[in-house]
């Protein structure tokens, strides 16, 4: 222990001395630089004022002698300035014309800086030595009728700068000395009180923990320094491992309970359901992107509730996520098989990247998926475009992803594959044809329209047949399930079982179920017990940061997409301000609009329409520091959006058609103060769950305007009661419960492939 103390003291003395000396050196340099800069500034001010007087007194004619006397009197008047040694005047040839007495003997010949100033016609500044004296010389050209006729030198003594620097060093020395003494003294006390005593207590604590007799928790020191404790730590680790297993068993027993779903609970449940199987997730968007930023490669996590839901599952079962590699540095970080382990800080599962050409991405993603299926399914009065070339790319990309999936599950018995969204409608059938022993589910994140609307698609039969290759198809709400089954009944030859919501086609049964997606809900007991407390943000300060002053604030968060009802929302705000002019100057609506798919013509045009509408309404109403609409036109992270959720009086979700819309749930999850009002479109999936929101028809502008008034004038008790009920729904049906229910149901589906086919698949796996 004495050796430890000695090492610590010596290290502290050396470390503090070196660090303090470094800072002191920097401080001296800064002081020296500041003093020099100040001296140069004062010399320049003096020189500029003096050179004008010299030029007026300069005479090159018959009165040269009189001129020189006048110049001599002029320079002598400036001889008593602080740190000023004197002023010297030379003619064009460098001959001394006038000087102060202090410099008469030392500067009889013009110094280089004066010669240079005369030759080049501009001022020169330099620090030199006159004998043993350090000086600063400012040389300025003297002009007469635009001709340089001589030079002026202003000379200052700079020895005081060195004296000031030495003073700083002296003060620093005594400061460091005092710091070293105090820090060493405090360190000795800490070593005595915080290390030697706790060592013995730590050993006792670990022994008590191992035997189950401990009732408190004590911080354990670094055991590499204390060999006698190593044996007890090994025993403690074994005991803790048993305790962890017991906790997981307890969690399994509580699976059927009503306790809140968490990432840990989801992991425990899925490990028990999957058993020896492995989970494979397929999506267009990847959970981690790698972007090159100069010479560095940054890891970017795209904002996605899907990542929040499925990462705990993949972490728990060491699964694989298969996605389009869209980052510009994605190819640089994968191995020879296009895989890498993620998350970067704690690798727990594999990410397999699939590469698409620009033409494939344009045709499959932007073309067929987003100009065809997206408007078709949302029925938002934008005509879907179906091009044969896009359909060809859609099939090719689905086959490319199928090849990647089959490669990943090649040596896996009974794999579980979870396909995400409308980008991969053909994938379930393609996978099942090659691996009938795989359990395949697809979750359709957007609405499914009625059969008449879906009949617009020229390839509706192929899409439906591809989806029916899955063992389980998930939608957000029951009405989308109903629409899908009605479409199946019309489009393909099959038997629809309405009692059990399943489809039998080609000896294969597909279950169709609603799984309402949600958000991660943080159960912060402290914030919930303080409903009106510290988490509430000052909306005035938030608005002032946007250059606006208002008493009330509304918030909207959307991709700038024609399905989100943003234009209808703006019209409702305009109508509200028309009907209730008392809110003019008081109510501001902040629209956070993330640009989306802007190189698609319809999206580009719509973005311009939204901008123009916001500007029109603002031009009509705004005055002073207030305007009715603030349009923030960029992608915002969840951390940037959350302050707006917490500060807003109301949140408007006015989608014209939406599968679920998680913005409504994010807003409520953020309101731990249990205030704020949600205005929600009746055409969203969220409207089926959040009945305490103010439900509106977004096409009815007057109704939505009235909802804004009702939200702003609602009693606080009514707001709190509504938010409490809706937050309870989100808490009990969060994103982890969604993932747990979906994968659990998939694992419980009975595979109905013929026995000989399944045996053949198992044999292929064994041979591989």
pLDDT digits (tens, 9 = 90+) for 508-554: 999 999 999 999 887 654 444 444 443 445 788 899 999 999 999 99
Q: At what angle do helices 701-713 and 566-579 cross, to 10 degrees?
A: 60
Of the listed ranges 25-39, 250-264, 441-455, the least confidently predicted one is 250-264
Q: What is the dihedral of CA 524, 528, 531, 533, to 10 degrees?
A: -40
Q: What is the pLDDT of residues 518-529, one digit of tens each?
A: 998 876 544 444
462, 373 contact by CB (below 8 A): no
Query: What is the rounded distance in angstroms from the CA atom of residue 516 to the CA atom of residue 690?
Result: 12
pTM: 0.67
pLDDT at position 185: 79
Closest by Cα among 598, 710, 608, 611 to 652: 710
Asked if residue 663 has a cis previous peptide bond (ω within 30° of 0), the answer is no
pLDDT at position 216: 40
pLDDT at position 528: 45
Query: What is the rounded distance in angstroms from the CA atom of residue 427 to the CA atom of residue 398?
Result: 6
pLDDT at position 208: 59
Segment 725-754 shows an average pLDDT of 87
pLDDT at position 261: 82
Kindly list the strands in the beta sheet with 124-130, ordered across the sheet, starting from the edge strand earlier in the chain: 96-99, 84-91, 147-157, 133-144, 124-130
729, 669 contact by CB (below 8 A): no
Burial call 22-31: b when 16+ CB within 10 Å, e when fewer: eebeebbeee
Task: Report CA Rg, the chain.
Answer: 39
Quick one: pLDDT band at residue 10, thresholds 50, 70, 90?
confident
Q: Is 60 exceeded by the pLDDT of residue 767?
A: no
Joined together, the tokens standing for residue 64 give 């040269």
Q: Is 50 exceeded by the pLDDT of residue 501?
A: yes
Q: What is the pLDDT of residues 336-345, one digit of tens each?
A: 999 999 998 8
Instruction: Pick the more confident residue, 122 or 81.
Output: 122
pLDDT at position 307: 79
CA dist 188 to 9, 174, 185, 194, 195, Å?
Answer: 8, 21, 5, 10, 10
pLDDT at position 164: 83
Quick one: pLDDT band at residue 61, thresholds 50, 70, 90?
low
Of the listed ranges 72-86, 120-134, 748-762, the least confidently predicted one is 748-762
Is 534-733 in CATH node 3.40.50.2000?
Answer: yes
Query: What is the rounded distance in angstroms from the CA atom of residue 338 to the CA atom of residue 325?
Result: 9
pLDDT at position 133: 84
Segment 225-246 shows an average pLDDT of 53
Any idea which residue has 């199928």 for tokens?
Answer: 402
Q: Give the range with max mean pLDDT: 53-62, 151-160, 729-738.
A: 729-738
**Looking only at Cα atoms, what is the longest distance across the chain?**
126
Burial call 168-201: b when 16+ CB within 10 Å, e when fewer: beeebeeebeeebeeebeeeeeeeeeebeeebee
Closest by Cα among 590, 640, 625, 737 to 257: 737
Segment 487-508 shows an average pLDDT of 95
Tell me whether domains 264-520 and 534-733 share a fold. Answer: yes
Q: Which residues have C-beta within 8 Å of that of residue 53, sequence separation ≥ 6?
A: 74
Segment 478-492 shows an average pLDDT of 97
Q: What is the pLDDT of residues 622-659, one digit of tens each?
A: 999 999 999 999 888 888 999 999 999 999 999 999 99
Q: In the chain, what are the domain boundaries?
A: 264-520, 534-733
Alpha carbon 746 to chain centroid, angstroms: 34
What percent of the chain is predicted at pLDDT more than 70?
A: 84
Instruction: Pick the more confident residue, 14 or 739.
Output: 739
pLDDT at position 406: 97
Segment 31-44 shows an average pLDDT of 85
577, 621 contact by CB (below 8 A): yes
Instruction: Pick the more confident residue, 226 or 448.
Output: 448
Of the listed ranges 38-52, 396-410, 570-584, the least confidently predicted one is 38-52
Q: Is 50 exceeded by the pLDDT of residue 217?
A: no
Q: What is the pLDDT of residues 266-315, one digit of tens each?
A: 888 888 888 878 899 999 999 999 999 888 999 988 766 677 778 877 88
Q: Which residues have C-beta within 8 Å of that of residue 272, sequence separation ≥ 6?
A: 252, 255
Instruction: Pick the more confident residue, 435 or 189.
Output: 435
pLDDT at position 34: 87
Terminal alpha carbon distance of the chain: 61
Q: Is 50 exceeded by the pLDDT of residue 179?
A: yes
Closest by Cα among 194, 203, 197, 238 to 223: 203
CATH class of 264-520: alpha beta
pLDDT at position 221: 47
Query: What is the rounded distance in angstroms from the CA atom of residue 765 to the CA atom of residue 437?
Result: 10
Burial call 363-402: b when 16+ CB within 10 Å, e when fewer: bbbbbbbbbbbbbbbbbbebebbbeeebbebbbbbbebbb
Q: Is 60 exceeded by the pLDDT of residue 176?
A: yes
pLDDT at position 238: 56
Segment 183-211 shows an average pLDDT of 65
Query: What is the rounded distance in angstroms from the CA atom of residue 494 to the CA atom of residue 507?
Result: 10
Quick one: pLDDT band at residue 316, thresholds 50, 70, 90?
confident
Query: What is the rounded distance in angstroms from the CA atom of residue 244 to the CA atom of residue 251?
Result: 11
Q: Is 70 exceeded by the pLDDT of residue 691?
A: yes
pLDDT at position 78: 66
Of the listed ranges 94-108, 132-146, 342-356, the least confidently predicted one is 94-108
641, 668 contact by CB (below 8 A): no
């Amino acid at each position: 222990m004495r050796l430890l103390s000695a090492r610590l003291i010596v290290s502290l003395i050396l470390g503090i001395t070196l660090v303090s000396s470094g800072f002191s050196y920097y401080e001296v340099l800064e002081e020296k630089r500041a003093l020099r800069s100040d001296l140069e500034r004062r010399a320049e001010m003096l020189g500029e004022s003096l050179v004008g007087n010299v030029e007026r007194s300069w005479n090159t004619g018959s009165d040269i002698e009189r001129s020189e006397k006048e110049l001599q009197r002029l320079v002598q008047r400036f001889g008593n300035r602080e740190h000023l040694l004197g002023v010297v005047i030379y003619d064009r040839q460098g001959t001394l014309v006038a000087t102060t007495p202090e410099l008469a003997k030392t500067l009889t010949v013009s110094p280089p800086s004066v010669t240079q100033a005369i030759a080049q016609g501009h001022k020169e500044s330099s620090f030199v030595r006159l004998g043993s004296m350090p000086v600063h010389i400012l040389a300025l050209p003297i002009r007469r009728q635009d001709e340089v006729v001589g030079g002026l030198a202003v000379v200052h003594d700079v020895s005081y700068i060195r004296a000031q620097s030495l003073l700083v060093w002296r003060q620093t020395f005594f400061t460091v000395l005092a710091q070293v003494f105090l820090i060493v003294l405090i360190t000795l006390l800490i070593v005595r009180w915080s290390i030697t005593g706790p060592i013995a207590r730590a050993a006792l604590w670990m022994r008590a923990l191992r035997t189950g007799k401990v009732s408190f928790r004590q911080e354990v020191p670094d055991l590499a320094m204390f060999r006698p404790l190593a044996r007890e730590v090994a025993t403690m680790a074994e005991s803790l491992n048993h305790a962890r297993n017991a906790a997981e068993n307890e969690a399994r027993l509580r699976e059927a309970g009503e306790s809140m779903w968490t990432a840990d609970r989801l992991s425990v449940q899925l490990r028990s359901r999957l058993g020896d199987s492995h989970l494979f997730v397929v999506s267009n968007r990847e959970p981690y992107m790698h972007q090159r930023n100069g010479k560095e490669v940054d890891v970017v996590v795209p904002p996605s509730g899907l990542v929040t839901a499925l990462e705990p599952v993949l972490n728990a079962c060491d699964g694989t996520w298969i996605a389009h590699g869209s980052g510009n540095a994605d190819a640089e970080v994968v191995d020879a098989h296009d895989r890498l382990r993620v998350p970067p800080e704690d690798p727990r599962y594999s990410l397999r990247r699939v590469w698409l050409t620009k033409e494939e991405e344009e045709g499959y993603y932007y073309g067929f998926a987003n100009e065809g299926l997206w408007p078709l399914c949302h029925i938002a009065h934008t005509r879907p475009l179906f091009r044969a070339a896009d359909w060809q790319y859609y099939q090719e990309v689905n086959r490319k992803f199928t090849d990647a999936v089959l490669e990943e599950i090649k040596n896996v018995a009974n794999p579980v594959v979870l396909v995400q969204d409308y980008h991969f409608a053909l994938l379930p059938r393609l996978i099942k044809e090659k691996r009938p022993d795989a359990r395949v589910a697809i979750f359709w994140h957007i609405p499914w329209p009625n059969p008449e609307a879906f009949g617009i698609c020229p390839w509706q039969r192929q899409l439906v047949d591809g989806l029916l290759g899955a063992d389980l198809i998930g939608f957000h709400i029951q009405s989308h399930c109903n629409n899908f089954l009605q479409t199946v009944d019309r489009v393909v030859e099959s038997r629809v079982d309405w009692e059990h919501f399943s489809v039998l086609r080609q000896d294969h049964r597909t279950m169709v179920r609603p799984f309402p997606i949600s958000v991660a809900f943080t159960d912060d007991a402290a914030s919930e017990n303080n409903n009106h407390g510290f988490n509430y943000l000052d909306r005035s300060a938030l608005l002032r940061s946007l250059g606006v002053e208002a008493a009330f604030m509304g918030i909207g968060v959307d991709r700038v997409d024609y399905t989100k009802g943003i234009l209808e929302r703006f019209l409702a705000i305009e109508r509200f301000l028309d009907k209730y002019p008392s809110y003019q100057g008081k109510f501001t609506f902040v629209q956070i609009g993330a640009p989306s798919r802007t190189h698609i013509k319809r999206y580009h045009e719509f973005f311009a329409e939204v901008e123009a509408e916001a500007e029109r309404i603002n031009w009509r109403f705004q005055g002073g520091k207030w305007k009715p609409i603030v349009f923030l036109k960029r992608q915002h992270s969840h951390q940037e959006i959350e302050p707006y959720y917490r500060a807003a009086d109301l949140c408007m979700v006015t989608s014209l058609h939406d599968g679920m819309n998680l913005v409504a749930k994010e807003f409520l999850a953020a309101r731990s103060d249990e205030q704020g009002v949600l205005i929600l479109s009746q055409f969203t999936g969220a409207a089926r769950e959040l009945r305490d929101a103010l439900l509106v028809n977004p096409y009815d502008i007057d109704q939505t305007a009235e909802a804004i008034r009702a939200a702003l004038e609602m009693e606080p008790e009514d707001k709190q009661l509504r938010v409490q009920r809706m937050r309870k729904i989100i808490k009990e049906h969060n994103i982890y419960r969604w993932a747990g229910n979906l994968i659990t149901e998939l694992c419980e589906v009975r595979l109905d492939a013929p026995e000989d086919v399944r045996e053949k698949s198992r044999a292929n796996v064994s041979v591989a």
